[in-house]
Amino acid sequence: MWKTRSRARWIGAVTAGVLMATTFLTGAATAASAQTDSDGWEVSPVRALRGQADLTGVVAFGPSDAWAVGYTGGNSTVSTLTLHWDGTRWLRIPSPNRSARENWLFGVAGTSPNDVWATGYDIGPDGKHRTLVLHWDGARWRIVPSPTVEGQDATLNKVVALSPTNAWAVGSTIAWPFTGRTLVQHWDGRTWSTVASPSPGTDGLGSFLLDVAATSADDVWAVGDYDTGDGTMRTLTERWDGTRWTVVKSPAPGEGSLLSSVATGPRGQVWSVGWQQDGAEQTPLVLRWDGDAWSAVDMSGLPADASLGDVRVVGSNDIWTVGSQAGQTLAAHWNGDTWTASPSASPGSVANAFADVATIPGTNCLWAVGQFTNGDLGRPLVEHHCE
């Protein structure tokens, strides 16, 4: 069984603010330009930042407008990190930090260049994690108040925006002795409010939501995992139907399993990726929604030890997933029949990983972000791919 003890590495990462530590690595190096072959991914240089840095989310509005978010800092202070692509280079844009200790960003989404959201957490006066939401209005980032839970740790992991008056963010609250509850918040154009969501696991480690995506205002999906009651974690998928959130049954193979990302696409497509525990090994997991039920997708072509961090639906037979494998970045493409690894750069001599991937509207290109290390401090990684 995938018990509490074997999952402690991931749980500890969440409390420290590093989502899914098995995929999003901590370490560093100097950002350097490296290029793969013409069919692969190419590193887009990022100016070196003082201290450690990591990129956890990316969104694009066109060839000359994209955002990447994450965090940067050292042992005593962690600050929000927002980078903007102007068509030529990535530039750090000032972003607020409410806490003098820790400020983390994990997700970014938006409806236009003047309506961008970033989510994460910071540390409140009571020493607890509190939800952190930033908004870009085309001129500056500002903190937008969001509900938190007094006396508990609260984190918002990812966000999806459908319109300027409709956005969702998901995460978890944690109460002693570390039992998670799902956390869902909604933006109505004026305020963020907490919306009731199921927590099927109420014992042991509890329930967690890690990502959110939507096909429409009345069809929103969130994924994560929950404790079955004995420390064994199982996949969790929840759906908003315009009225309420409900749990949707999903395959939970292996001796434990987790869904790290969910994405939607044309014609109501919904895909989710994560991993499952197979003895002492973690193997990739890919699920697809057919309109009635979730089913596992053939993983032929994916490395058996791959960690999948994100998925993106481009078209009916055009799916991308990114993550890491054996300390190297991993990007793979689904053509409707099989997965094929796409050559990607790994500039770090010790470890490299992708955390998020985004399509670039109006092009056949994508951005992927993450982190690489040469063994000292972590450095942000950005790579670009075009068909």
Rounded to 5 degrees, φ, ψ at 14 are -65, -45
pLDDT band of residue 39 (cuts 50, 70, 90) is: low
Average pLDDT of the segment spanning 149-162: 95
Q: Which domains does the chain carry? A: 5-372 (2.120.10.80)
Q: How do strand 233-240 and strand 281-289 relate by DSSP bridges?
A: unpaired
Task: Look at 164-168, 205-209, 275-279, 355-359 and tell me which has the smallest mean pLDDT.
Answer: 275-279
Buried/exposed 196-222: b ≥16 CB within 10 Å, e otherwise: ebbbbbeebbbbbbbbbbbbeeeebbb
More confident residue, 316 or 367: 367
Rounded to 5 degrees, φ, ψ at 30 are -85, 135
Say yes or no to pLDDT of 334 above 90. yes
The pLDDT > 70 percentage for the chain reads 90
The pLDDT tens digits for 74-126 are: 778 999 999 999 999 999 999 999 999 999 999 999 999 999 999 999 999 99
The pLDDT > 90 percentage for the chain reads 79
Give the global pTM.
0.91
Residue 320's pLDDT is what? 98
Task: Look at 25-34, 44-53, 206-215 and tell me which has the smallest mean pLDDT.
Answer: 25-34
pLDDT band of residue 279 (cuts 50, 70, 90) is: confident
Whether residue 174 contacts residue 152, with contact meaning beta carbons closer than 8 Å, is answered with yes
